Amino acid sequence: MAVEKTLILVKPDAFARGLTGEILARFERKGLKIAALKQTTLTVEIAETHYGEHQGKPFFGELVEFITSGPLVAAILEGESAIKAARQVIGATNPLEAATGSIRGDFAIEVGTNLVHGSDSPEAGVREAGIFFPELS
């Protein structure tokens, strides 16, 4: 076990639905600490950098359009095994396969609007934290 940092996004769909507080509360109740927090609206350039691993995939255009469509909330969460813990709280990528009790399982239906992002490795956590909070690195 190791203390890790993960980058969380409350995506524009969740922000617009007024789920920001509910979502952040679930991470806090899990035991993760909020180390940084901000509201921002992404430029296409930052969105393409953040989702760089998906460049060329059929859903990439829609993904960038969606994630830049309105304000979102970005947070760095810190704690033991924060990457895995946060992804457990978030649930599977496809909300219809996400467990009840997870954020996506409880509040989402479609994969293209699945409410929350969480880094998928410690390396991604460091990279993504640098994109959203350059002032901290």
Both tokens of 92, joined, read 């599977």
Q: Which does 60 bind (CB under 5 to 8 A by kind): ligand ABT, Mg ion, none?
A: none
CA distance 34 to 1: 19
Q: How far apart are CB 95 and ligand ABT at their closest, in Å?
A: 10
Does residue number 93 form part of the binding site for ligand ABT (CB under 6 A)? yes
Q: Which does 114 bind (CB under 5 to 8 A by kind): ligand ABT, Mg ion, none?
A: ligand ABT
CB 90 within 8 A of CB 103: yes
Q: In a 10 Å sphere around its CB, with 0-12 CB exposed, 13-18 middle and 19+ buried, how is residue 19 labelled?
A: buried
CA distance 129 to 137: 8
Closer residue to Mg ion (CB): 36 or 111 = 111
Catalytic position from the list 5, 26, 50, 117:
117
Dmax over CA atoms of the chain, in Å, equals 37
127 appears as a binding residue in the annotation: no
User: What 8-state DSSP symbol labels residue 99?
Assistant: P
Does residue number 112 form part of the binding site for ligand ABT (CB under 6 A)? yes
Q: How far apart are CB 57 and Mg ion at their closest, in Å?
A: 12
Binding site for ligand ABT (CB under 6 A): 11, 54, 59, 63, 66, 93, 111-114, 117-118, 120
Binding site for Mg ion (CB under 5 A): 120
Active site positions, annotated: 117
